[in-house]
Amino acid sequence: MPHPDSLASRFARLQRAARDDPNPDWAVRARRLRALDRLLLDNEQAFADAVRQDFGHRSPAETRLLELFPSHAAIRHASHHLRRWMRPQARSVSLWFQPGRAELRYQPLGAVGIIVPWNYPIFLAAAPLAAALAAGNRALVKMSELTPATAALFAERVGKYFADDELSVVEGDVGVAQEFSRLPFDHLLFTGSTAVGRQVMRAAADNLTPVTLELGGKSPAIIGPGLSTAQFAHAVERIIIGKSMNAGQTCIAPDYVLLPAGQEQAFIDVARRVVGDCYPDIERTADYTTIVDQRQYARLCAYLDEARAAGARVVDLAPGAVADPAARRLPPLALLDAGDELRVMQEEIFGPLLPLRPYRDLDAAIAFINSRPRPLALYYFDRAPANIERVLNETVAGGVTINDTILHIAQDDLPFGGVGPSGMGCYHGFEGFQTFSARKAVFRQSRLSAIGLFKPPYGALFERLTRILLR
């Protein structure tokens, strides 16, 4: 018999409860959403402290801004719209089946799994949970082993707000994550790298478990041609701020910049000013996040070493600041002349390194993006409506922010997800409710129906009716 705290036992409890109460009413779902909101509110400082401990350093203000605030927004958006989302939707009925009625009903899938990454361990647990609980599901959550303090806090506190057959939080290493992926969930949502996403999908396939994969990739920022000096400076500022949050450890951070040829030095000049304004004394400021662990820090340093050896130019965006390997503090750096063969141009960077790639015209910029795997996010800076429409129409990305970065993820009424290697499926808002719901098609037959005219034996009347039907 499995241990009562084993993965199998936890999942079995959730699954039994979901079968016993397959369609919780609005009041139950609303209570669970309030409990999730209260869990985060009551423990806000404890969560901020845990994240800071896990990263070595992250400002509590940044945790509130990037994790707690959007988590509360997602939960409250779902709470506000839940009654409407739960209502059956009337669908049209063709002439031949009237006066029957058709409708679509959303029902909970049952017991769902959520695998949380290390970079935003609070928000990337809470936002999927808001969708799953709104849809009426029970959930098992696997926290990242790279953020053990946050995982332990979440696992310890969740029992004060939820029954163990409503929501359960799991800690553990890669082996636990692999076992987790093999459980026969009714749906599994994974956020993380493309490489691990492939492994999760293979494991889930054995149970025919449907998956939502929120992955990553190389999200470009494009500075359009012909911007004024002020518009160009605004673009650089927003790119640098989007890149510097969480020290670039964000799945939708600008990964590289496409800018008009000849504007590289202007970009660097503005970027240095922005970094200086936002992070004075960056080696000691409390507002700049450190790299999460030594392995990630070493990976970023290896990118830099390879780029320098290949002739790329590495430019300090915080002149005079020195990297601190012991604290894993890495100031922002720009890279010029980084060839396509380099890892920094092939792999998602996930850190404060920013390659600059000049282009001769917008056609070339669009062609460059379209020659690469489709990104999770795309950012375009321009004031010309025709250029904006071109980029929107001629590129494919999971989400787009125009004249800023990151902000599309914070719009609760927009779906969030990737395309191809950057992801599969989406969530947030109503689309998240749909992702974690079974869509049941219902047809209600009327007492008055012509369908009896189409039963055997087929004869002349049937032939006349079908000829009319097919005209």
Beta bridge partners of 221: 257, 379
- For residues 290 and 55, is the Cβ–Cβ distance under 8 A? yes
Residue among 63, 57, 120, 68 nearest 285 (CA): 57
Q: Which of 62, 214, 264, 348 is flagged as catalytic?
A: 214
Burial of 89 by CB count in 10 Å (0-12 exposed, 13-18 middle, 19+ buried)? exposed
Q: What angle do CA 320, 325, 327 make, to 5 degrees?
A: 95
- List all residues 6 or more positions away from 4 whose beta carbon is below 8 Å from its beta carbon: none
| Owner of token pair 């079995």 | 12
The Cα–Cα gap between 28 and 36 comes to 13
User: Residue 426 catalytic?
Assistant: no
The Cα–Cα gap between 111 and 108 comes to 9
User: Residue 67 catalytic?
Assistant: no
Q: Which of 62, 166, 251, 264 is flagged as catalytic?
A: 251
CA distances to 137, 276, 413, 445 from 323, in Å:
46, 16, 40, 71
**What values do phi and psi take at 78, rounded to 5?**
-65, -45
R_g (Cα) of the chain, nearest Å: 26
The Cα–Cα gap between 235 and 230 comes to 9
Instruction: Render the burial of 38-68: b for 16+ CB within 10 Å, e for the rest.
Output: ebbeebbeebbbbbbebbbbbbbebbbebbb
At 155, list the tokens.
């696992």
At 352, list the tokens.
């404060």
Between 194-205 and 174-181, two packed helices, what is the crossing angle to 10 degrees?
40
**What values do phi and psi take at 189, rounded to 5?**
-110, 125
DSSP 303-369: HHHHHHHTTPEEEESSTT---BTTTTB---EEEES--TTSHHHHS---SSEEEEEEESSHHHHHHHH
- The residues assigned a catalytic role are 214, 251
